[in-house]
Amino acid sequence: MARDLAIDLGTANTLVYMKGRGIVLNEPSVIALNRQTGEVLATGREAWQMIGRTPGYIVAVRPLRGGAITDFEITERMIRLLLQRVGVSRFTRPKVVICVPSAITEVERRAVTDAARRAGAADAQLIEQPMAAAIGADLPIDEPVGNMVIDIGGGTSETAVISLGGVVALEAVRVGSFDIDAAIQNYVRREHGIAIGERTAEEIKVAIGSADPIGDENEAEVRGRDLMSGLPKTVLLAPEEIRFAIDDVVSSITASVVRCLAKAPPELAQDFLVRGMYLVGGGGLLRGLAQRIERETRVPVRMSPMPLEAVVLGAGHCIEHYEALKGMFMGARR
Amino acid sequence: MIIAVLLIVFAVLVLILAVVRISARRRPVDGVESFRRHIDALSPAARREVIDRVQNARDTGKGK
């Protein structure tokens, strides 16, 4: 008998929680395929290392973009391989809870559940990411108080107000940390005339990226291909340049937080001033982001103790208390 | 013969009693009870086990 699973099927990373065991898999959501035969060559970390470095016959892709499945068949294969890696076979069919962005369409919802069922799940239920994040961030969502969580993922940013185990207000934008990487790529191409890959853009973000000025800032040396000569070239990038490059993306995230605050009932809004808002997700690790949101909303922003694992932890809790919490699944009648 | 008939009647009565008791127990869960179970399952105490399990695994991983 297979143990039931909770999956955070993120645009950037996929995490799997196994009932009674904890997190058993944490890998990039990437799959490498042979372009000619369609054969899977690698998944996860191994496939991620291939991005932008493959010969013509190999393609390393992220089958999810903006939290949505862009290629149903590849996603299904990726889920099947992930489930196999955690011990699911055709004879052991577990119940699966999958975290998805709250703004997904009915078609996307069906695509995810169908992919999981075809990949070997006996039953597949979906849970909204901000709700799972709030459970995983250990917020007191069982109490009649305003809890606010901001989940910044690879392709989506979602802000939710939660009280008494339910979502009170929600705001989502299909913008995330991959858009920050893309903004850096575009800036370097436009202003310095060199082309860099998405992994280099991510490295720049991690090294010197920030949403608000912070102390102790250094320049970074960036290597790419000169667009004029086609030769390798090195340029120096300053932190202010990166802040300028990613400002539109960061503004779009902070604007959605402000919209969510405006939707919250006044009784709950006053709780935020005392309790603050909680940041989760990999995008929340961008330096100065908490400070920037705090400056624009005048509400304290705190970092969740386990920002990268909060979503899968919340879904894991739902799989541990499946019967009591099944009313939280998307499409369930409450 | 009479004993066999009595045994069958007794078995049928036991069966009816069991069915009545099971169906009484299976009455639909009312809203208050269901909501209470839902909220209790979200309490910090209910979540502690899952969070501690992952936190411990994380700390062990860091220590290595």
Predicted ipTM? 0.79
Separation CA A85–CA A319 (nearest Å): 19
What is the reported pLDDT for B29?
63
Same domain, yes or no: A225 and A275: yes
Determine, for residues B34 and A309 on separate chains, whether the beta-carbon distance falls below 8 Å: no
Same domain, yes or no: A300 and A167: yes
In which domain, by residue range, is A294 found?
Answer: 140-304
Q: Write the DSSP string, B3-62.
A: HHHHHHHHHHHHHHHHHHHHHHHTPPPPHHHHHHHHHHHTSHHHHHHHHHHHHHHHHHHH
Same domain, yes or no: A25 and A151: no
Its sign, for the CA torsion A197, A201, A203, A208, is positive
Same domain, yes or no: A217 and A155: yes
Q: Which residue has the higher pLDDT, A222 or B18?
A: A222
Same domain, yes or no: A89 and A177: no
The pLDDT tens digits of the residues spanning A255-303 come to 999 999 999 999 898 899 999 999 999 999 999 999 999 999 999 999 9
What is the reported pLDDT for A234?
94
Same domain, yes or no: A319 and A271: no
What is the reported pLDDT for A207?
93
Same domain, yes or no: A161 and A289: yes
Which residues in chain B are contacts of A315 at CB distance < 8 A? Answer: none
A236 within domain boundaries: yes
A333 within domain boundaries: no
A305: closest chain B residue by CA = B55
Determine, for residues A313 and B54 on separate chains, whether the beta-carbon distance falls below 8 Å: yes
Determine, for residues A321 and B41 on separate chains, whether the beta-carbon distance falls below 8 Å: yes
A321 within domain boundaries: yes
Q: Is A167 on the interface with B (CB under 8 A)?
A: no
Among the listed residues A237, A234, A194, A207, the one whose alpha carbon sits nearest the alpha carbon of residue A219: A237
The enclosing domain of A164 has a CATH number of 3.30.420.40
A153 within domain boundaries: yes
A334 within domain boundaries: no
The pLDDT tens digits of the residues spanning A224-251 come to 999 999 999 999 999 999 999 999 999 9
Same domain, yes or no: A157 and A267: yes
Sort A231 into a burial class: Cβ within 10 Å, 0-12 / 13-18 / 19+: exposed
Domain count, chain A: 2
Q: Is A140 on the interface with B (CB under 8 A)?
A: yes
Same domain, yes or no: A162 and A291: yes
Same domain, yes or no: A125 and A148: no
